[in-house]
Structure 1
Amino acid sequence: MKPILLLDVDGPLNPFAAEAPPLGYVEHQWRVSRWRRKAGRRAWLNPAHGAALLALAERTDAELAWVSSWEDEANATVGPALGLPALPVVGVRAYEQHPDWKYGAVGRFAAGRPLAWLDDDFGLFPGARQRFLERRGRLATALIPVHPAAGIGPDHLAAVETALQQGKS
């Protein structure tokens, strides 16, 4: 089965915890009608990430998908800003306060498929993370943490590539 590369927006693609946009990042602002914050959404995005992620998906034969509270709004805002096509969305917003966090939704979405997942919140729910990994068993599963003040870098992309290549064997 085709492996999956799961992308969170805030943290990995939008280093929201930085004091200023890191080098190479550009500020974007959107008015999102369904978003909780009436002022809209701001994101710092690195335009080079779109091409890098598409090339990585091509090399590893992986499917890119959003796993973010942005859900479908990522396809309307972040994806076009990065040059990404519309991607599948793992519905996680309903689980934001749930003790299983995103893991249940990801487990259902990625059932039987190798995955690499870029996120900044893997440390929030250690019990849920452990149960998720146990349920995945021997299936290749790489949870790649990204610092929310730095965003993804070449080392993260290399870790994804290594994990997905190893998952093919």
Structure 2
Amino acid sequence: MRPLLFLDVDGPLIPFGGTSPHPAYAPEPPPDAHPLLHRVDPAHGPRLAALGCALVWATTWGQEANEVLAPRLGLPPLPVVDWPDEDDDPVAAGLHWKTRALAARAEGRPYVWLDDEITDADRAWARAHHPAPALLHRVDPATGLTAADYATVSSWVGACRVAEYGTRAG
């Protein structure tokens, strides 16, 4: 079974902050659109698809990610994580509010989570509470996803295949 890849938008796909200018891959969006949408690199779509994971939006963009981002990336509509009501699921100290919801959504499957707000507390929680391998990978929001991030995920997915099938060709 392919690992899930939970994908945040702001930071990983839309870089922000930092001191150097960000490249623009499209004209500036209209005033009613996200002001940084032109920073979405369409090359991320094929690179994400090539990782061999089942892609899932893990963003507060919700279905809007399918309407606005998936076409820019050349991706089909993806499943979207429905976030729990914050009042129903209090966050433990130091734990990101998405951490437990993503592990629950994974339902025991291996998963990757790409986000710019992941901390060691989230990684420790996943190691202690999720029965399958999980890669919680922090993406620098100043650069967004880089070749190094893709290499890390690709290596992890390959290691999962070896663990599951005993070979990289599985």
Give TM-score, length-normalised by structure 2: 0.79
Correspondence for 1:46:
41
1:103 to 99, 102, 106: 99
1:63 to 54, 58, 76: 54
User: 1:5 & 1:63 partners in 2: Cα distance?
Assistant: 6
Tell whether the 8 Å contact from 2:51 to 2:157 is kept in structure 1 after alignment: no
Tell whether the 8 Å contact from 2:41 to 2:73 is kept in structure 1 after alignment: yes
Structure 1, unpaired ranges of 5+: 32-38
User: 1:51 & 1:149 partners in 2: Cα distance?
Assistant: 22
Correspondence for 2:13:
13
Correspondence for 2:129:
135
Distance 1:156 1:71, change over 3 A: same
Tell whether the 8 Å contact from 1:95 to 1:102 is kept in structure 2 after alignment: no
> How many residues are aligned here?
155
The alignment partner of 1:64 has SS state of strand
Which protein is bigger by CA-based radius of gyration? Answer: 2
Quick check: which one's strand share is greater? 1
Percent identity of equivalent pairs: 35
Distance 1:30 1:128, change over 3 A: farther
Tell whether the 8 Å contact from 2:8 to 2:58 is kept in structure 1 after alignment: yes
Amino acid at match of 1:72: Q
Whether 1:80 and 2:71 are equivalent positions in the alignment is: yes
Correspondence for 2:167:
none
User: 1:52 & 1:95 partners in 2: Cα distance?
Assistant: 33
Q: CA RMSD in A?
A: 2.6
After TM superposition, give the deviation of residue 79 of structure 1 in Å: 1.0
The alignment partner of 1:29 has SS state of coil
User: 2:151 & 2:59 partners in 1: Cα distance?
Assistant: 22
User: 1:29 & 1:95 partners in 2: Cα distance?
Assistant: 32
